[in-house]
Amino acid sequence: MPDGRLRASDLVETLWRLRLPEGGWSARSQGAVGRPEVTALVLGALARAGADGRLLAAEAEHCTERFTRELEPAGAELTHVVTTVLRGLLRAAPGSPALPVLRDALVDGAVTDPARDHRRCWGSRLTPPRGRTVAPSAVHTAQAVVALDRAARVLGEDTNARATREEGIRWLLSCPGAAHDGCDDLESGHETVRRPHPDDASRSEVLAVRHFSAAWVMRALLTPGAHAVAVDEGTEAVRQEMLAGAAACVWRQQDNGIWTWDGADLAYPLWMTYQGLSVLRAHAVWMYQPGG
């Protein structure tokens, strides 16, 4: 329920105070240089809270100017980083010329999975390391599907982008697990974003990222695009079954509304509770049928 003690204006002011002197935002482990994935998350939150559009546009431009393969080679290769920037800018700066470029980079970074009828999906990286292949990943495929679905509604969608997004949905719907409330696709994981330290070339700047996979898979399967694909191809019953299983998996990981990340130093991450509550609410709204 809305609570008058929690004022969005106070949160907005706090976020602006956390802005770095040279622009942008960073996580605590990232030092004094603004990083695109954190900046985009903040800009998206500020946009939802109704922050000044001119200030958001200036920060978004600063973010996109620095998010190039030359200046951000590590981030530009990672699906998590590109999808996070794309989602944040779609909300905060929907007219940004960088958005089609990010969308196309995400589409071009899809891989095929022989284990699932050679359907296209995504791994943790958009460009494979030299001499290696990129392993398919449910959480990164879900992140890409969510980002591309939002991009389609803001930017429109060409044939290639639509086909790739829909293949990602089909890949998620073809999970071979027998029980969809505890299959491998829903197993949470983590990755590391590693960059050269801005002040000391002998050190690395490390950001540990944890992925609440069940929540991401739910978000992807709840997109309008996923619903359309399932209805058109007669797999709506499969989608509903997988959504119910993912919802059960998300629900099991909380106690009295607080979500727990097992085995971590920070066992009760606030972002995980936010994601859990958000996706369960979205699922409840989708399930609701007046008079039913």
Rounded Cα gap, residues 255 and 129, in angstroms: 40
Strand (E) or helix (H) holding 221: helix 213-221
Report field, pTM of the whole predicted structure over 0.75: yes
From first CA to last CA, the distance across the chain in angstroms is 24
User: Counting beta carbons within 10 angstroms of the beta carbon of residue 210, is it exposed (0 to 12), middle (13 to 18) or buried (19 or more)?
Assistant: middle
234 alpha carbon, distance to own chain's centre: 27
Query: Which residues does 130 contact at the CB level (< 8 Å), separation at least 6?
Result: none
Rounded Cα gap, residues 152 and 103, in angstroms: 9
Rounded Cα gap, residues 209 and 192, in angstroms: 6
Per-residue pLDDT tens digits of the chain, which is 292 residues long: 677 888 888 989 999 999 999 999 999 888 788 999 999 999 999 999 999 999 999 999 999 998 988 889 889 999 999 999 999 999 999 999 999 999 999 999 999 999 999 999 999 999 888 778 899 999 999 999 999 999 999 999 999 999 999 999 999 999 998 888 989 999 999 999 998 877 777 788 888 999 999 999 999 999 999 999 999 999 999 999 999 999 999 999 999 999 999 755 568 999 999 999 999 999 999 988 787 5
* Under 8 Å between Cβ of 39 and 66: no
Rounded Cα gap, residues 83 and 37, in angstroms: 9
* Cα Rg of the chain (Å, integer): 19
Query: Which residues does 63 contact at the CB level (< 8 Å), separation at least 6?
Result: 24, 34, 36, 39, 40, 43, 85, 89
Q: Which two tokens stand for residue 274?
A: 């936010």
* Cα dihedral sign, 98-101-107-109: negative
Reported as a single tens digit per residue, the pLDDT across 119-169 is 999 999 998 887 788 999 999 999 999 999 999 999 999 999 999 999 999
